[in-house]
């Protein structure tokens, strides 16, 4: 009997070691959704909805999807200009601003990066029963209103801020060309490149931003990333006429990294920064008309010192 | 008097009566007890020598001392070892500092059951999954402190279960080791079936698990890591075949740079022996098999298992000390062949008194690995093939002749050719591989039954490392307990003239 008992105990001990004394770890890295992930020299900042919390999941996500890639122009010798225009679908004179932007676009081409920020009362959608102006073009998160309050507190339309020059103060369309000409003649303090990788099946874009400082400064800078959609056909009040098939240009759709972006410190000549944002492109947005916009601005004074844009998808 | 007082009075009377009744038995039992022990004291005096890089030792004198005491009485035994390092001899791990008792145990054995508490040494199979032992000359001691049970369940079936923490200098490692081993001698267990059989079969199986808490923020570490092993020994007539395999689940550690690849080891050995002839052929492959009870430790600290080296353990100074091989725990493929043959008297080579020859060849290579470039994902590290080998770590071809020329003169003549990868074995990146030829003549002249003189003449020739060496040793023996020896080493081939010194 004693032998039998001891044999049973021994077998139990052995089984314990087999089944309890052993742990197989499938993923070596702690999962912490929301953390930024450093990988091969790039800092990955990923929307939490992807539930990616470590390098294993990140690389699996990248490897398991097909990505179409598009690159921005080279701006290592040219300061690119951001024009943030405040507008609204019920703003009757705003299309005049848009027409001016289209004109400037033909002049400055890739150097000019326009963004239409729908904000204020003119941007508030009407009740669906009205049959027009029902689309809400304001971005989620209230960022449009934040920008309006900061840069256009007088709520005058159409107004725009050219590279947030002069503490981001806005001006009317007539002043934009002169300001662009003035700013674009200055040497860039950094080159900023965007490489967009878009996955149609995931409706996701990986916005890779590579920045190289071209000079030394003691200023602190922030990096800001937007998604904008071009050619949205919808209602617009245009000089008193309600136009149902108006072509809305460069509409700000998403502020990817918070209202004021990410701090990137001071400019140190020769140093590089690589950041990749992985974010969702809404299924209702036309991916082939979407572009990502990235710019760096002075923490103190808001002036945008370099910018760039790239389409995310061209099937 | 209360009832309570009555109870205590009664208990006291019973106790006294019991003592009186058992005093004689107790005295008799104690008289059977035995105490055994031994004492060792080793001391060295140091002098600074800038030429050979021997730094000044502030204490001038260092010493190691050991006292073992074991009391045994019937099935009971208890013992301890007092150790003193004031401070440790140079070359010893510096972790040994001071005095103390780090080895003490009590053990009881009755019939087929044995229980040990305290410190103990244990080995499962050849040690691929567990071996704790003391190698005092190297300052190695990974004794377990815990509990061990051994039990013979049935004829030929022996079980061992243990748990404990391992010694590291004057402390214990953080991890807890748990182990289980079963040995089955089929000839004993199934004696009817094997009756009269010339074949003897021994089987064994082991499981060892360690626990260490995960406090690492960078990785998710397995807190419980297990190693499993199986072994078989088949003997028939003059042949023996032994095979042992061990598998370790993911065990990221400082040794393997925190990869999660499983480890495995395979040992195969075949022997043949008859009068005057012995042949041994063995092969071993171990891949990521470092297994310690503290994943952050290195060197020889807190190793749970043991990878036997398939190389000859030389004893002669120049062969044993300058380029000795150390098993590479992270990966190694090794082979060894050993032939011992005795030329009988009256043969051409045997002459009047016969002659022994021993030929040995061993190699050790890295395993052949392909990097997986997955350090940011699954951290498997690499993959490796069983059927190819990587760079050479070590090669040793040696021949030894033992010849008695007369009743007074005996000679042992050794030649060895070594290939020694300094870069890997000594961890010297970029150091060239050493190719060395060593010749040794060991002559003993017996003056009479008590007195003998022995001389060793050794020469090592190499173009790498420190160049050529010669050693001369003269030894006088006064049998059976005393000998005195004087030895000198001369690095006359050193390319740096000032290092061509006599040691």
pLDDT band at B1 (very low <50, low <70, confident <90, very high): very low
A14–B contact, CB cutoff 8 A: yes
Task: Name, in order, each residue with C-beta under 8 angstroms of B200's C-beta and a sequence gap of 6 or more.
Answer: B185, B186, B187, B194, B233, B234, B235, B236
Q: Which 3 state secondary structure label does DSSP give A200?
A: coil
CB contact under 8 A, A14 and B182: yes
CB contact under 8 A, B260 and A17: no
By the 10 Å C-beta count (0-12 exposed, 13-18 middle, 19+ buried), B159 is classed as: buried
CB contact under 8 A, A22 and B226: yes
Task: Name, in order, each residue with C-beta under 8 angstroms of A153's C-beta and a sequence gap of 6 or more.
Answer: none
Q: What is the pLDDT of residues A45-77, one digit of tens each?
A: 999 999 999 999 999 999 999 999 999 999 999
Write the DSSP assignment of B110-165 as a string of letters. Answer: ETTEEEEEEEE--EETTTTSEE--EEGGGTEE--EEEEEEEEEEETTEEEEEEEEE
CB contact under 8 A, B151 and A23: no
Within chain A, strands assigned E span 37-39, 42-46, 68-71, 81-87, 112-118, 159-162, 190-199, 204-213, 220-229, 232-238, 241-248, 251-255, 262-266, 272-280, 290-298, 304-311
Find the angle CA(B209)-CA(B211)-CA(B213) to the nearest 5 degrees. Answer: 160
* Confidence at residue B24, expressed as pLDDT on a 0 to 100 scale: 74
**Cα-based distances in Å from B153 to A17, A286, A301, B123, B163:** 19, 76, 84, 19, 20
Query: Which residue has tokens 């339309």?
Result: A157
pLDDT band at B4 (very low <50, low <70, confident <90, very high): very low
Judge if the upstream peptide bond of residue B468 is cis by omega within 30 degrees of 0. no
Q: Which 3 state secondary structure label does DSSP give B435?
A: strand
Nearest-neighbour CA in chain A from B481: distance (Å):
48
Nearest-neighbour CA in chain A from B330: distance (Å):
20
Return the residue in B205, B217, B377, B380 with the most chain A beta carbons within 10 A, the one to mutate for interface testing: B377
pLDDT at A301 over 90: yes
pLDDT at B2 over 50: no
Q: Which 3 state secondary structure label does DSSP give A56?
A: helix
Percent of chain B with pLDDT over 90: 79
Q: Which two tokens stand for residue B360?
A: 């040995």
The fold for domain A65-311 equals: Immunoglobulin-like (2.60.40)
Give the integer Cα–Cα distance in Å for A189 and B293: 54
Q: What is the pLDDT of residues B69-118, one digit of tens each?
A: 999 999 999 999 999 999 999 989 999 999 999 999 999 999 999 999 99
pLDDT band at B29 (very low <50, low <70, confident <90, very high): confident
pLDDT at B3 over 50: no
Give the integer Cα–Cα distance in Å for A234 and A246: 5
- What's the whole-number mean pLDDT along residues A266-292? 97
Nearest residue in A to B152, CA atom: A3
Q: Cα dihedral angle (B268, B274, B276, B278), rounded to 10 degrees?
A: 0
CB contact under 8 A, B219 and A13: no
pLDDT at B232 over 50: yes
Q: Which of A3, A6, A59 sits opposite B376 (nearest CB)?
A: A59
pLDDT band at B351 (very low <50, low <70, confident <90, very high): confident
Question: A15 to chain B: which residues are within 8 Å by CB?
Answer: none
pLDDT at B5 over 50: no
- What's the whole-number mean pLDDT along residues B157-182? 95
> Residues of chain B whose C-beta is under 8 A from some C-beta in A?
113, 151, 153-154, 159, 161, 178-180, 182, 207-209, 211, 217-226, 228, 249-250, 252, 258, 260, 376-379
Nearest residue in A to B176, CA atom: A21
pLDDT at B19 over 60: no
pLDDT band at B20 (very low <50, low <70, confident <90, very high): low
Nearest residue in B to A63, CA atom: B377
- φ and ψ at B22, to 5 degrees? -95, -5
Question: B224 to chain A: which residues are within 8 Å by CB?
Answer: 20-23
CA B392 to chain centre: 24
Q: Which 3 state secondary structure label does DSSP give B97?
A: coil
CB contact under 8 A, A40 and B376: yes
Q: Which 3 state secondary structure label does DSSP give B469?
A: strand
pLDDT band at A20 (very low <50, low <70, confident <90, very high): low
| Reported ipTM | 0.77
Summarize chain A as % helix, strand, coil (round to 5): 25, 35, 40
Q: Which 3 state secondary structure label does DSSP give A35?
A: coil
Q: Which of B226, B228, B260 sits opposite A28 (nearest CB)?
A: B260
Nearest residue in B to A8, CA atom: B153
Nearest-neighbour CA in chain A from B142: distance (Å):
21
CB contact under 8 A, A27 and B220: yes
A51–B contact, CB cutoff 8 A: no
Write the DSSP assignment of B183-230 as a string of letters. Answer: EEEHHHHTHHHHTT-SEEEEEEEEEEEEE-----SSS---SEEEEEEE
A64–B contact, CB cutoff 8 A: no
CB contact under 8 A, A27 and B209: no
CB contact under 8 A, B378 and A56: yes
């Amino acid at each position: 009997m004693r032998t039998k008992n001891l044999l049973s105990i021994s077998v139990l001990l052995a089984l314990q070691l087999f089944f309890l004394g052993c742990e197989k770890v499938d993923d070596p890295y702690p999962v912490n959704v929301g953390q930024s992930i450093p990988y091969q020299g790039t800092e990955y900042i990923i929307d939490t909805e992807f539930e990616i919390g470590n390098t294993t999941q990140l690389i699996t996500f990248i490897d398991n999807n097909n990505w179409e890639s598009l690159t921005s122009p080279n701006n290592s010798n040219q300061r690119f200009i951001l024009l943030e225009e405040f507008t609204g679908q019920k703003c009757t004179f705003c299309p005049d601003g848009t027409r001016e932007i289209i004109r400037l676009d033909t002049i400055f081409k890739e150097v000019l990066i326009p963004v239409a920020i729908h904000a204020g009362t003119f941007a508030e959608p009407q009740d669906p029963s009205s049959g027009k102006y029902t689309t809400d073009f304001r971005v989620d998160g209230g960022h449009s209103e934040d920008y309006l309050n900061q840069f256009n507190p007088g709520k005058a339309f159409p107004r725009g801020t050219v590279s947030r020059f002069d503490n981001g103060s806005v001006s009317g369309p007539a002043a934009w060309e002169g300001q662009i000409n003035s700013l674009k003649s200055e040497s860039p303090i950094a080159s900023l490149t965007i490489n967009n990788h878009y996955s149609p099946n995931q409706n996701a874009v990986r916005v890779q931003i590579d920045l190289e400082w071209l000079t030394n400064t003691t200023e602190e800078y922030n990096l800001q990333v937007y998604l904008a959609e071009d050619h949205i056909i919808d209602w617009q009040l245009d000089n008193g006429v309600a136009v149902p098939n108006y072509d809305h240009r460069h509409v700000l759709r998403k502020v990817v990294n918070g209202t004021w972006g990410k701090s990137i410190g001071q400019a140190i000549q020769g140093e590089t920064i690589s950041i990749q944002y992985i974010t969702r492109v809404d299924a209702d947005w036309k991916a082939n008309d979407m572009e990502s916009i990235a710019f760096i601005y002075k923490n103190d004074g808001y002036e945008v010192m370099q910018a760039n844009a790239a389409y995310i998808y061209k099937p | 008097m209360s009832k309570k007082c009555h109870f205590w009075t009664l208990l006291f009377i019973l106790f006294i009566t019991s003592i009186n009744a058992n005093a004689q038995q107790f005295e008799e039992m104690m008289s059977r007890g035995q105490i055994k022990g031994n004492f060792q004291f080793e001391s060295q005096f140091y002098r600074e020598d800038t030429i050979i890089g021997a730094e000044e030792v502030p204490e001038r004198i260092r010493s190691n001392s050991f006292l073992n005491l074991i009391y045994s009485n019937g099935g009971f035994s208890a013992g301890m070892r007092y150790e003193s390092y004031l401070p440790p001899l140079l070359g010893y791990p510096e972790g040994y500092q001071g005095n103390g008792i780090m080895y003490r145990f009590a053990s009881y054995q009755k019939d087929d059951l044995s229980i040990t508490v305290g410190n103990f040494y244990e080995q499962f199979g050849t040690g691929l999954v567990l071996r704790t032992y003391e190698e005092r000359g190297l300052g190695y001691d990974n004794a377990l402190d815990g509990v061990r049970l051994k039990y013979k369940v049935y004829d030929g079936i022996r079980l061992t279960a243990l748990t404990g923490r391992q010694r590291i200098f004057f402390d214990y490692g953080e991890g807890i080791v748990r182990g289980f081993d079963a040995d089955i001698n089929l000839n004993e267990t199934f004696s009817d079936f094997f009756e009269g059989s010339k074949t003897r079969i021994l089987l064994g199986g082991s499981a060892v698990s360690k626990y260490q808490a995960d406090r690492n923020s960078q990785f998710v570490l397995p807190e419980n890591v297990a190693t499993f092993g199986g072994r078989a020994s088949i003997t028939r007539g003059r042949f023996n075949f032994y095979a042992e395999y061990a598998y370790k689940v993911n065990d990221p550690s400082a040794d393997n740079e925190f990869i999660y690849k499983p480890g495995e080891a395979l040992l195969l050995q075949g022997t043949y022996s008859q009068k005057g002839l012995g042949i041994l052929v063995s092969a071993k492959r171990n891949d990521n098999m470092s297994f310690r009870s503290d994943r952050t430790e290195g060197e020889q600290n807190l190793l749970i298992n043991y990878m036997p080296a398939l190389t000859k353990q030389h004893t002669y100074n120049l062969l044993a000390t300058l380029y000795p091989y150390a098993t590479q725990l992270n990966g190694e493929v090794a082979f060894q062949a050993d032939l011992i043959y005795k030329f009988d008297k009256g043969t051409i080579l045997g002459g009047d008194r016969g002659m022994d020859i021993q030929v040995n060849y061993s190699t050790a290579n890295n395993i052949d690995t392909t990097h997986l470039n997955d350090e940011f994902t699954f951290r498997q590290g690499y993959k490796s093939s069983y059927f190819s080998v990587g760079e050479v770590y070590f090669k040793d071809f040696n021949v030894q002749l033992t010849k008695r020329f007369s009743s007074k003169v005996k000679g042992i003549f050794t030649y060895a050719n070594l290939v020694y990868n300094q870069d890997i074995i000594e961890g010297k990146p970029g150091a060239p591989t050493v190719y060395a030829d060593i010749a040794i003549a060991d002559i003993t002249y017996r003056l009479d039954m008590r007195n003998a003189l022995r001389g060793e003449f050794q020469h090592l020739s190499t173009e790498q490392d420190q160049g050529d060496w010669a050693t001369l040793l003269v030894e006088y023996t006064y049998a059976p307990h005393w000998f005195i020896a004087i030895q000198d080493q001369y690095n006359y081939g050193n390319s740096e003239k000032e290092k061509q010194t006599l040691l």
